[in-house]
Amino acid sequence: MADSIAAAAQKHPAPEGLIYQYGTAGFRTKAEVLDSVMTRCGLIAALRSRALKGKWIGVMITASHNPPEDNGVKLVEPLGNMLQEEWEVLSTEMANKATPEDVSKFYHEIAARFKIDLDAPARVVVARDTRASGARLLACVLDGLKGAGAEHKDYGFLTTPQLHYMVRCLNTEGTKDSYGTPTEDGYYEKFAAAFKTALKGKKPSGSLTVDCANGVGGPKLTELIKHLPPKEEALEIFVVNDNVIKPEALNVDCGADYVKTNQRAPPSSKVGPNDRCCSLDGDADRVVFYFKDANNMFHLLDGDRIATLVASFLGDLVRQSGLSDSIKIGVVQTAYANGAATNYVEQHLKLKVDCTPTGVKYLHHAAEKLDIGVYFEANGHGTAIFSVDTLETIAKHEPKSTAQKEALEVLRACIDLINQAVGDALSDFMLVEVVLAHKSWGPQEWLSTYNDLPNRLLKVIVNDRKIFQTTDAERRLVKPDGIQTKIDQEVQKVRQGRSFARASGTEDAVRVYAEAATKAEADDLARKVAEIVKSFGSA
């Protein structure tokens, strides 16, 4: 076995002088320097599968909202969740081994450390987004899997959430927890049927225009639409920015990240006033909504808005089903959530809010501890998770009236409509449409639930981001000494002020967030906190 591992690594030698890091999004960088990483991820995936007695592990080749010349890879655990942290560390170490011999040695060290039987079966599922580099990088992964003697299933092009779905389905097939049929058609049929049931004959007002970032979500949404009820009965969907024939168009002037960052619709947008629109990102695991009002003013309905909408609806359903004594709902946010959203959830919806560090894995982990945990990052990545006990309670519940019975049917359909494995833009936008249909709301009513506090996000380039250390879910700095006191002094000078600074996870920079009662105060506060960071960061 040792020789076949070294031989696989030998085929794709690591570039000299580059350090790789498995982060929140797995490995992600310029596609031309990823060959060695891909092969080694194949080896790690095989080991992880063997460590879990041959369960299927997922490998997704994608760089999501990054530019077309980038690519990346992330590994997926058996229930469709993110790779365990301990294995993120092992992946990083493996990616940075200098020689094929070092790779083989480390492979065997991991096997010894975790008592992994290297003759046990290893099963790995692979898929990729539409980037031009995907085919080459897939071949590198397959070389790693072959070297490790792993069985693999290649699903070709999938959205990231579809790959997570396949992994969960393959591992639960034939059990009482069966998640669905592990095929693309199985995915469309499950979510389309749940959408139809959850709508309960109600029709969303108007149409929805979906910007697919010229990524894999375009062709997949077109397939999904074929399984949905006809537009006369349910929802008319217009698919735009779905050009996957030109990989260089991916995420360019379109997509969720463009809309969120620039606070404007894609330049290609041709919709009228109050028309609902949403944008996916390049691998379709994020979605944000937006519209232009009668005065041509742009309004963003981001992850915070989706979380409050979904939490409010699920809360209604739980209450109307007669389950509010046994099921508690909570919302999980990061420090980037707008203060007005937090306030709305706590004061108006009367639901608990937990705050975690930035990064989906932290939100997901916190949500798993709740009966029903709703989490969305402001960038539109999120989902709702139902605990095992909660699912059982809902399944066993006997309704006492027709109204309870109807609410319970919609609640059960929503459970099927929400991708429990991971944030899924296709499933999330359908869930939003279900809620709007039940509430008879258009985008204006949704927007008017609360007013966002004006906020500003700045990036400060520093010499060494590692000196900036945080506590309290990244809301306060503990290092460098004295910096937090100075930030607090500035915050106290403005109405409804809040600000925090945290080191970027991807570059030598510190991100500064500020919000206040007016735009001028928020801008001014952000500028002053950025100056404080700069003075400490260049010292």
Question: Is 123:25 a contact under the CB 8 Å cutoff?
Answer: no
CA-CA distance, 474 to 281, in Å (whole number)?
26
- Written as six digits, the tokens of 275 are 């028309």
- For residue 332, the SS3 value is strand
Binding residues for substrate: 377-379, 502-506, 511
Short-list 179, 229, 276, 220, CA closest to 425: 220
Q: At what angle do helices 519-537 and 483-491 cross, to 10 degrees?
A: 170
Burial code (b: 16+ CB inside 10 Å, e: under 16) for 341-369 equals bbebbeeebebebbbbbbbbbbbbbbbee
- Return the bridge partners of 538, or none: none
Q: Measured at the alpha carbon of residue 81, what is the angle toward residues 80 and 82, in degrees to the nearest 5?
A: 125
Question: Is 374:329 a contact under the CB 8 Å cutoff?
Answer: yes
- Count CA atoms within 13 Å of residue 121 on its CB side: 9
- Return the bridge partners of 70, or none: 30
| Amino acid making up residue 11 | K
Binding residues for Mg(2+): 64, 281, 283, 285
CA-CA distance, 495 to 515, in Å (whole number)?
9
Binding residues: 64, 281, 283, 285, 377-379, 502-506, 511
| Amino acid making up residue 407 | A
Considering 36, 49, 64, 91, which one is annotated as catalytic?
64
Q: Could you confirm whether 207 is annotated as catalytic?
A: no
Q: Measured at the alpha carbon of residue 537, what is the angle toward residues 533 and 539, in degrees to the nearest 5?
A: 125
- Return the bridge partners of 67, or none: none
Catalytically active residues are: 64
